[in-house]
């Protein structure tokens, strides 16, 4: 038999090679290439740990590895699976002899190294979804002998700005946002991110801060207003979305950026006059007559005369003065710093001035200035943030510390989307941003000042919770109507974007207190809510309740109809009497007046009867027992960008969620719907979220041979349809997710609490399996029971710290980062769960401060 012959041969080789192997495998340094070939390294591992089950006799999982051979393009997918299974300690199975930790780590790194060579651009191990592939216990517990860590650092790199960051940066050029008001801490102000609009689209709006009148409704308004959609792409939906490895800027994006740059520059110079006629700019809207139906046209807007946009050297050079070298340079320097957040080097300034001059020579002053200045929008540093440490000296480990502008902008970017505040800028310019202490001073100062808005922190929680996807989940109209939520028009989607903003505000309130931040977010009873949330935080009626509510509504309507009929009768009688009176006393003005009033009332009463009962969509919703949310009014950080001034008002309330039905953000409609699909809940997504974001577990990719579909069986519970995932082949992975997601079946797929499903009591049980913390493992009654358990766990806290590390470092952790992670967790714990303490620890760590220039051209992404 083939296997036996192979084994004999290998035994002979391995007897000879034992001593060598012992020496080779005695140490492991994370990030260092693992020497060895398939023949002298990997084959041995496979023989000892894999062939028992995966040879030509016992092809478990229909997989034989006997003829696998060295890593190449054709077998790369199998090697990738082997890497995932071995790294996650799924293989060898628990009942089989296990490789020691060092051996496992070396094998795992060897496979990655070979995949990088064999498959161009292989970078699965760098994806944040694979961050948990690094063993949690090794990061936070004692290391076995033989593991030699290197001091932490991150690779030298360029970060492309995110779409939101880019739009917020451009917004600074044409709009003046309100200054932060401590009396209204929730209202969107200068430094906050430009939010997505009512439909979830990210756009830069022109002149909305001056519009005082418009014709038409909301859609007409949104069409009339000049706006530019985000140009830079961002394709990721779940999880951390901004690692430096993800994005670049392509030619289509560059073309669009430069096209829009001229629009922005013209607005910087002329304001609304660049997009409207002079007569549209007036403080008395009555002086501008809108003739006929002009909804949706730019002429359907009236702008106030007060200039609110920033008046900059671009305005000077175009509108106020003649073009001189000095003024041109002032415009270039201003624009360069506004777009790159640093002043230009003299040669950069010179180059751009020359570009503008050349353009002026060809097409004249105005067009030349706009065309020439638009080039700055495409500067490398306007689109990427460099961390290249080109000027520093490496330490004994080959690391170079960020300094001056690179460190200043790294600190700034960790918290902000707009350019450094004056104090940070001064520190950079004066050479006071070169040490760890310098970084700590600035980070602490910025964190302590609420006036310095820090949208990146909120962005982290978006990426961590993924609660901002709800409005993008396309719902089947019939399935949505069945949940009790409104399925008419776009009401549900608007409600979901509102819900994201509400949850954002709740997160901010918890961050303001800065105590037990994660635990609070997981367990708080507080909710920020709109009126519509009385439905979404409501309870779906059981069938009996629905019938009773329907009957009650019919009764009430019948009662009302009776009253209306009686009212008509009464009014008719009184009118007849009064008419007689008038005939007798035609001079009585008083009587005539009274008669006219009664006649009007009679007409109205008759109309009411004719029209039938008028229902309030929420109050008369027979499908839902509405929540009774009430509390003080509160702002949410949305903007007027697409809808007049309305949403700059405190339209929300800080309320308490119905007791026993909700607990923390994971039970809010925003999170629940974000983890649902068109027809139903998505227990697998929810379970995966718990497994990855709270328990720190890894899920291997779905094998391409798996047809990942649940059966379509109408009027059947999701739990029942998920029986297919309990088949042995699927369950190995699905046991990590499904029992963690099914407890959320206590809510329907619009996020309403429910006690029954298809007429039967809903099953909300689940189980925490193999969490890594034996105290957590065991059955749970429902989502609230599970969340309560998880919120107490130190491991969960550590996993949260790991995600914060990834967000702020822009990469997955390695074992070399163990000390940084432990220190960050200690800072969080010792401060009573302070996010500020956690961030300060991370932003003053070696991983944040030091960069290592990669050598070679393979781009392995290792330190």
Partner 1 sequence: MITRRKSLQTIAGGLGAVLGSSLFPGIGRAASSLLGGPKRVIFFMQNQGFDPATCIPAGMTGSGSLAKAKLPEPIEALEPYKDRLHIINGLHGLHTSPAHSAFFGALGGYRGSDGVPPSGPTIDFELSKVLPETLLPHLCIGMDSLENMRAKPTVANLSASGAGQPIFMHSNPNHLYQMLYGGISQGEIRQQHEARSSIYTRIEQMAAAKGGALQGMAKQRYGQYVQGFEDINGLRERLGGVSDHLREFAPEVDERYAKPEFETDWHDVLLDLGISALKSGITSVLTIGSGRGEIFGAWKGLGIEQQGHNLGHMKQPDNPIWIKIRQYNSRMLVKLMEELEKVPEGSGTMMDNTLIVYTSNNADKQHTNGANWPVMLLGHCQGAFKTGRFTQLDGKRPINALYTSILRASGVQCDRFNMSEKLAMKFDTGSGPLKELLV
Query: If binding is defined by CB under 8 A, does position 810 make contact with partner 1?
Result: no
Pairing of strands 760-761, 756-757: antiparallel
Residue closer to partner 1 by CB (options 214, 537) is 214
Q: How far is the CB of 34 from partner 1 (least distance, A)?
A: 19
Q: Give the whole-angstrom CA distance, residue 752 versus residue 661.
A: 10
| Stretch binding partner 1 (CB under 8 A), from 92-100, 213-221, 579-587, 798-806 | 213-221
Residue closer to partner 1 by CB (options 205, 334) is 205
Q: How far is the CB of 302 from partner 1 (least distance, A)?
A: 15
Q: How far is the CB of 634 from partner 1 (least distance, A)?
A: 25
Q: How far is the CB of 862 from partner 1 (least distance, A)?
A: 10
Residue closer to partner 1 by CB (options 222, 415) is 222
Phi/psi at 682 (nearest 5 deg)?
Answer: -120, 80
Q: How far is the CB of 496 from partner 1 (least distance, A)?
A: 12
3-state secondary structure of 66: coil
Cis peptide before 92 (omega within 30 of 0): yes
Q: Tokens 């065991």 identify what position?
A: 778
Pairing of strands 384-387, 154-155: unpaired
Q: How far is the CB of 361 from partner 1 (least distance, A)?
A: 8
DSSP for residue 763: P
Which one among 82, 84, 174, 275 touches partner 1, defined by CB under 8 A? 275
Contact between 213 and 300 (Cβ < 8 Å)? no
Query: If binding is defined by CB under 8 A, does position 858 make contact with partner 1?
Result: yes
| Side-chain half-sphere CA neighbours of 682 within 13 A | 19
| Stretch binding partner 1 (CB under 8 A), from 328-336, 557-565, 666-674, 855-863 | 855-863
Query: If binding is defined by CB under 8 A, does position 860 make contact with partner 1?
Result: yes
Q: How far is the CB of 558 from partner 1 (least distance, A)?
A: 32
Q: How far is the CB of 202 from partner 1 (least distance, A)?
A: 7
Closest CA to 757 of 713, 815, 715, 795: 715
Q: Give the whole-angstrom CA distance, residue 661 versus residue 643.
A: 34
Q: Give the whole-angstrom CA distance, residue 334 versus residue 317.
A: 12
Q: How far is the CB of 345 from partner 1 (least distance, A)?
A: 11
Query: If binding is defined by CB under 8 A, does position 358 make contact with partner 1?
Result: yes
Contact between 748 and 754 (Cβ < 8 Å)? yes
Burial 482-505 (b: 16+ CB within 10 A, else e): bbbbbbeeeebbbbbbbbbbbbbb
Q: What share of the chain is helix, strand, coil (3-state, %, to 5)?
A: 50, 5, 40
Residue closer to partner 1 by CB (options 123, 312) is 123
Query: If binding is defined by CB under 8 A, does position 254 make contact with partner 1?
Result: yes
Q: Give the whole-angstrom CA distance, residue 346 versus residue 609.
A: 79
| Stretch binding partner 1 (CB under 8 A), from 134-142, 145-153, 486-494, 746-754 | 486-494
DSSP for residue 467: G
Residue closer to partner 1 by CB (options 659, 712) is 712
Q: How far is the CB of 126 from partner 1 (least distance, A)?
A: 9
Query: If binding is defined by CB under 8 A, does position 350 make contact with partner 1?
Result: no
Which one among 219, 556, 596, 706 touches partner 1, defined by CB under 8 A? 219
3-state secondary structure of 826: helix
Query: If binding is defined by CB under 8 A, does position 489 make contact with partner 1?
Result: yes
Which one among 13, 102, 143, 294 touches partner 1, defined by CB under 8 A? 294
Residue closer to partner 1 by CB (options 491, 772) is 491
Which one among 13, 648, 679, 730 touches partner 1, defined by CB under 8 A? 679
Total binding residues toward partner 1, as defined by CB under 8 A: 89
Which one among 160, 459, 467, 693 touches partner 1, defined by CB under 8 A? 160
Q: Give the whole-angstrom CA distance, residue 24 versus residue 17.
A: 10
Closest CA to 690 of 804, 767, 778, 805: 767
| Stretch binding partner 1 (CB under 8 A), from 40-48, 63-71, 253-261, 423-431 | 253-261
Contact between 632 and 470 (Cβ < 8 Å)? no
Query: If binding is defined by CB under 8 A, does position 379 make contact with partner 1?
Result: yes
Q: Is the dihedral of CA 657, 658, 664, 665 positive or negative?
A: negative
| Stretch binding partner 1 (CB under 8 A), from 72-80, 134-142, 152-160, 588-596 | 152-160
Helix 365-374 with 325-340: angle, nearest 10 deg = 30
Q: Give the whole-angstrom CA distance, residue 757 versus residue 761.
A: 6
Site for partner 1 in 189-208 (CB under 8 A): 197-202
Residues 6+ apart with CB under 8 A from 255: none
Query: If binding is defined by CB under 8 A, does position 292 make contact with partner 1?
Result: yes
Which one among 6, 38, 472, 594 touches partner 1, defined by CB under 8 A? 472
| Stretch binding partner 1 (CB under 8 A), from 75-83, 139-147, 150-158, 604-612 | 150-158
Residue closer to partner 1 by CB (options 92, 368) is 368
Query: If binding is defined by CB under 8 A, does position 220 make contact with partner 1?
Result: yes
Residue closer to partner 1 by CB (options 194, 838) is 194
Residue closer to partner 1 by CB (options 241, 745) is 241
Count other Cβ atoms within 10 Å, centred on residue 414: 22
Alpha-helix runs per DSSP H in 585-632? 589-611
Query: If binding is defined by CB under 8 A, does position 720 make contact with partner 1?
Result: no
Query: If binding is defined by CB under 8 A, does position 678 make contact with partner 1?
Result: yes
The beta strands (E) that lie in 594-747 are given as 624-625, 633-634, 652-656
Q: Which two tokens stand for residue 175?
A: 């709009």
Query: If binding is defined by CB under 8 A, does position 645 make contact with partner 1?
Result: no
Contact between 644 and 211 (Cβ < 8 Å)? yes
Binding mask 686-715 for partner 1 (x = CB under 8 A): -----------------------x--x---
Phi/psi at 761 (nearest 5 deg)?
Answer: -60, 135
Query: If binding is defined by CB under 8 A, does position 66 make contact with partner 1?
Result: no
Residue closer to partner 1 by CB (options 254, 648) is 254
Residue closer to partner 1 by CB (options 616, 855) is 855
Which one among 70, 93, 229, 646 touches partner 1, defined by CB under 8 A? 229
Q: Give the whole-angstrom CA distance, residue 689 versus residue 682.
A: 11
Query: If binding is defined by CB under 8 A, does position 476 make contact with partner 1?
Result: yes
Binding mask 100-139 for partner 1 (x = CB under 8 A): -----------------------x----------------
Site for partner 1 in 615-644 (CB under 8 A): 642
Alpha-helix runs per DSSP H in 190-244? 218-224
C-alpha 460: how far from its chain's center?
7
Q: Give the whole-angstrom CA distance, residue 149 versus residue 155.
A: 16
Residues 6+ apart with CB under 8 A from 825: 140, 797, 798, 801
Closest CA to 382 of 260, 271, 203, 270: 260
| Stretch binding partner 1 (CB under 8 A), from 139-147, 296-304, 444-452, 804-812 | 296-304
| Stretch binding partner 1 (CB under 8 A), from 37-45, 289-297, 415-423, 828-836 | 289-297
Residue closer to partner 1 by CB (options 226, 462) is 226
Residue closer to partner 1 by CB (options 116, 817) is 116
Query: If binding is defined by CB under 8 A, does position 368 make contact with partner 1?
Result: yes
Q: Which two tokens stand for residue 152?
A: 């932490």
Burial 532-548 (b: 16+ CB within 10 A, else e): bbbbbbbbbbbeebbee
Query: If binding is defined by CB under 8 A, does position 222 make contact with partner 1?
Result: yes
| Stretch binding partner 1 (CB under 8 A), from 67-75, 240-248, 449-457, 746-754 | 240-248
């Amino acid at each position: 038999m083939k296997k036996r012959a192979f084994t004999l041969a290998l035994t002979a080789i391995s007897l000879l090679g034992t001593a060598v192997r012992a020496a080779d495998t005695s140490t492991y340094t994370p990030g260092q290439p693992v020497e060895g070939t398939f023949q002298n390294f990997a084959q041995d591992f496979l023989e000892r740990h894999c062939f028992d089950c995966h040879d030509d006799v016992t092809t478990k999982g229909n997989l034989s590895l006997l003829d696998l051979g060295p890593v190449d393009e054709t077998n790369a997918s199998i090697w990738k699976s082997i890497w995932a299974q071995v790294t996650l300690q799924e293989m060898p199975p628990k009942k089989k002899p296990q490789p020691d930790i060092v051996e496992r780590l070396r094998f795992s790194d060897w496979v990655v190294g070979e995949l990088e060579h064999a498959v161009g651009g292989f970078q699965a191990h760098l994806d944040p979804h694979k961050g948990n592939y690094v063993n949690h216990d090794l990061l936070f517990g004692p290391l076995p002998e033989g593991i030699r860590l290197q001091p932490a650092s991150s690779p030298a790199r360029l970060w492309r700005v995110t779409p939101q960051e880019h739009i917020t940066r451009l917004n600074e050029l044409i709009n003046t946002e309100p200054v932060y008001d401590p009396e209204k801490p929730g209202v969107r102000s200068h430094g906050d991110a430009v939010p997505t609009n009512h439909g979830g689209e990210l756009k830069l709006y022109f002149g909305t801060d001056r519009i005082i009148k418009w014709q038409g409704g909301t859609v007409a308004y949104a069409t009339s207003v000049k706006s530019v959609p985000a140009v830079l792409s961002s394709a990721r939906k779940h999880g951390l979305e901004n690692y430096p490895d993800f994005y670049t800027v392509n030619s289509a994006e560059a073309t669009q950026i430069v096209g829009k740059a001229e629009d922005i520059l013209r607005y910087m110079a002329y304001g609304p006059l660049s997009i409207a006629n002079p007569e549209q700019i007036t403080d008395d809207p009555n002086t501008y007559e809108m003739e006929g139906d002009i909804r949706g046209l730019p002429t359907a807007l009236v702008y106030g005369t007060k200039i609110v946009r920033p008046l900059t050297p671009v305005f000077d050079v175009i509108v106020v003065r003649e073009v001189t070298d000095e003024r041109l340079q002032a415009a270039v320097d201003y624009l360069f710093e506004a777009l790159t957040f640093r002043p230009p080097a003299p040669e950069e300034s010179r180059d751009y001035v020359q570009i503008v001059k050349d353009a002026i020579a060809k097409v004249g002053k105005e067009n030349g200035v706009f065309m020439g200045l638009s080039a700055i929008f495409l500067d490398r540093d306007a689109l990427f943030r460099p961390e290249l440490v080109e000027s520093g000296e490496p330490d004994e480990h080959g690391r170079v510390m960020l300094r001056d502008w690179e460190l200043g902008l790294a600190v700034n970017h960790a918290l902000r989307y707009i350019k450094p505040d004056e104090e940070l800028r001064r520190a950079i310019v004066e050479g006071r941003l070169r040490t760890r202490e310098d970084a700590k001073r600035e980070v602490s100062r910025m964190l302590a000042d609420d006036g310095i808005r820090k949208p990146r922190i909120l962005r982290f929680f978006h990426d961590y919770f993924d609660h901002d996807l709800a409005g993008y989940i396309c719902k089947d109209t019939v399935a949505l109507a069945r949940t009790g939520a409104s399925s008419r028009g776009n009401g549900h989607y608007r409600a979901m974007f509102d819900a994201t903003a509400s949850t954002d505000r709740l997160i901010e309130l918890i961050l303001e207190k800065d105590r037990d931040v994660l635990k609070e977010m997981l367990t708080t009873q507080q909710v920020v809510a709109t009126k519509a949330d009385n439905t979404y935080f409501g309870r779906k009626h059981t069938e009996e309740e629905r019938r009773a509510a329907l009957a009650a509504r019919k009764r009430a309507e019948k009662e009302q109809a009776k009253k209306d009929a009686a009212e008509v009768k009464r009014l008719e009688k009184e009118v007849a009497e009064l008419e007689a009176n008038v005939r007798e006393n035609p001079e009585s003005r008083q009587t005539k007046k009274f008669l006219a009033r009664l006649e009007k009332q009679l007409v109205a009463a008759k109309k009411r009867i004719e029209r039938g009962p008028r229902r309030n969509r929420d109050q008369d919703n027979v499908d839902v027992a509405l929540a009774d949310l009430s509390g003080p009014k509160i702002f949410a950080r949305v903007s007027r960008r697409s809808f007049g001034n309305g949403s700059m008002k405190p339209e929300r309330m800080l309320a308490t969620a119905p007791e026993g039905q909700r607990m923390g953000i994971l039970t809010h409609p925003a999170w629940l719907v974000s983890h649902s699909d068109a027809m139903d809940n998505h227990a697998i997504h929810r379970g995966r979220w718990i497994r990855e974001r709270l328990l720190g577990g890894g899920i291997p990719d779905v094998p391409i041979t798996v047809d990942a579909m649940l059966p379509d069986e109408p009027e059947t519970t999701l739990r029942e349809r998920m029986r297919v995932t309990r088949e042995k082949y699927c369950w190995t992975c699905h046991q990590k997710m499904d029992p963690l997601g099914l407890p959320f079946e206590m809510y329907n797929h619009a996020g309403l609490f429910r006690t029954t499903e298809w007429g039967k009591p809903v099953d909300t049980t689940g189980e925490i399996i193999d969490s890594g913390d034996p105290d957590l493992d065991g059955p749970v009654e429902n989502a609230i029971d599970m969340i309560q358990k998880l919120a107490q766990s130190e491991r969960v806290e550590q996993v949260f710290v790991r995600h914060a590390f990834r967000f702020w470092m822009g990469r997955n952790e390695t074992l070399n980062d163990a000390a940084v992670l432990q220190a960050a967790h200690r800072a969080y714990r010792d401060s009573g769960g302070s996010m500020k303490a956690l961030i300060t620890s991370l932003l003053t760590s070696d991983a944040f401060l030091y960069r290592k220039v990669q050598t070679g051209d393979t781009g392995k992404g290792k330190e």
